[in-house]
Structures are given as C-alpha cells and as structure tokens.
Amino acid sequence: MLPSSFSTPVSLGFSLREEDLLLSVRRFWLQQKEELRGIRERLPSVLPSPMDDDRLLWAWHVVKTRCIYVQNEPHPLIDWSVVAVIPFVDMLNHSPEAACVAQLDKRNGKYVIRLNKAVPEGAELQVCYGIHYNGRLWVEYGFQLEENPFAKVLLPTG
C-alpha cells in the first residue's frame, strides 16, 4: 500500500532558504529542486495531458522514498538510471543497526533479504538506507533519528 502523503520539506511546501540550511543539506536540497525542475520541463514531451504539481510530487516521492538502487538502462525522462521499486523490499524501514540487507542475488538475478544477525520472532525487519545524517533523512525521506550514529555537520573551510 502506497502512502497518500509524505512529510519531506518538499511535500509539506516548505520554502526553505538555502542560506538557513547546513552546507551538506543545502547541496542535497538544491539537487532535489533541480531534479524536479528537469522532470517538470520534460513531462510535456511524454504525457498526452498536463500533470498537476500535487500528483507529480506524490509520484516523485513514491519513487524517491521507496526505490532500491539497481543498475538499469538509461531513460530519457529521468536522470536516475539506478533505481527500481521492488514490492515488499520497498516496505522495509531504516535503521542504522539493521539486522538484514536487501541485495541482488547475482546467481539467480532476484532481490533477496539476508539476515546478518538473529532477529526475535515477530520483530520488525529493517535495512540501512545508507550512511545518512538527519538532515539528509529529513529532506529525502521525511524523518529523523533521535540517536543517529551517522550524525555530522559539514563546515566550510574557506
């Protein structure tokens, strides 16, 4: 089941001022804005009728928050040729101390979940989305971790 809404700054309509963001978050925020601008420009060439902005943002969030990184053939409309939405795998939540890994099994070409430590019966299986600090988690996925072992702040050096 896909969510009906998202809690990222883009979906909430925040007009963040670039100068108010940490440098590391600012770069990611600008990349997202540029990506959306490019998609908006290219959509009319592939869709028979215009797509309203709310629908576009929802679809963009579905892909951005649920995708798994897999090498794909390049596509003329999107710049991310390394993503796939894989049912059930896309439902795993993030944890820096995840007990499992979702990965492509090169022997059979299937995506599998592999446990890297014991998990109690009935416990939620989680994966690590990557080494993401809270600013990136907030901008990309719409959440932050109270205790994030990947927390960092990039400071300009000159």
Class of residue 95 by CB neighbours under 10 A (exposed 0-12, middle 13-18, buried 19+): middle
User: Looking at the whole model, is its pTM more than 0.95?
Assistant: no
pLDDT digits over 62-110, tens only? 888 888 777 666 776 666 566 777 888 888 899 998 988 888 888 988 8
Domain ranges in the chain are 18-141
Within 8 A by CB and 6+ apart from 30, the residues are 18
Q: Which CATH number fits domain 18-141: 3.40.640.10, 3.40.50.720, 3.90.1410.10, 3.40.50.300?
A: 3.90.1410.10
Q: Are 55 and 14 in contact (CB under 8 A)?
A: no
pLDDT digits over 132-158, tens only? 888 889 988 999 999 999 887 667 676
